[in-house]
Amino acid sequence: MPEGKALLYARVSTQLQVNDGVSLDVQERQLNSAAEVAGYTDLELVREEGRSGKNISGRPALTETLRRLDKGEAHALFVTRIDRLARSTKDFLNIIDRANANGWRLVMLDLNLDTATYQGRFVVTIMSALAEMERGIIAERQKDVHKDRRSRGIKWGLDMGPKNKTPEDIRQRVVAERAAGASYRKIADGLNRDSISSQNGGAWYPTTVKNLLAVIQKELEHLLDSESQA
């Protein structure tokens, strides 16, 4: 039986998540069950409401939870899903590093990953590396698109239609999730859950996601055409 306190972190950012079946109460039941099966008897639920998963700095409850774990005031952190913990690759890698450096346990139920096991540590390390590499590749391709467009004198609104104002990190996220097999609906729901507005300031819909991907695809096709003509 493991010793020490296990912290159970549950987060929702909007009412949409409650409707989607990831309410705080649902997460609490899942976390309690998993921690008890793992052998923990000293459990403490940490709730974070109305907070987006975009970055850690905007989530005081998680910030304090990680501080307590690093200081040895608790010994394990349980979360239901990886997106409850972090959506930024940088934040996720930072949390993994802190867990390894300070010797506390991280358990993610959706991925069946547990850093207390060798297999869990191995999979998390590989997954983090692949995610970071994928984001890097997407970012570099987008930089090439913009550079090529400027060199050819192509202007948004004239040569390639109205400019899509979606931030680069959101574009990368949409591409990565679609490449991983997520449906347009699932991607849109995730963006809405994290309180991320579309380029026109409204909600995301499957068609919004599809249209953004079409714009990105058009940019990449333009880049490939220009490379073949060089």
At residue 228, the pLDDT reads 40
Euclidean distance between CA atoms 52 and 84, whole angstroms: 9
Q: pLDDT for 17-35, tens place per residue?
A: 544 446 888 899 999 999 9
The pTM of the full predicted model, rounded to 2 decimals, is 0.55
Q: pLDDT for 95-122, tens place per residue?
A: 888 888 899 999 999 878 898 888 887 7
Contact 62, 9 (CB under 8 A): yes
Q: How do beta strands 76-79 and 42-49 pair? A: unpaired
The interaxial angle of helices 184-193 and 168-179, nearest 10 deg, is 140
At residue 221, the pLDDT reads 60
At residue 215, the pLDDT reads 82
User: Where in the sequence numbering do the catalytic residues fall?
Assistant: 13
Domains delineated in the chain: 5-116 (3.40.50.1390), 132-229 (no CATH)
Those residues of the chain that have pLDDT short of 50 are 15-16, 18-21, 156-160, 224-230
Mind giving me the DSSP string for the chain?
---SEEEEEEEE-SHHHHHTT--HHHHHHHHHHHHHHTT--EEEEEEEES--SS-GGG-HHHHHHHHHHHTTS--EEEES-HHHH-SSHHHHHHHHHHHHHHT-EEEETTTTEETTSHHHHHHHHHHHHHHHHHHHHHHHHHHHHHHHHHHTT--TTTTS-SPP---HHHHHHHHHHHHTT--HHHHHHHHHHTT---TTSS---HHHHHHHHHHHHHHHHHHHHHHHH-
Locate 191 and state its tokens.
Answer: 């963006």
Q: Is the dihedral of CA 179, 180, 184, 190 positive or negative?
A: negative
Reduced to 3 states (helix: H, G, I; strand: E, B; else coil), residue 169 is helix
Locate 151 and state its tokens.
Answer: 């060199």
- φ, ψ (nearest 5 deg) of residue 189: -60, -40
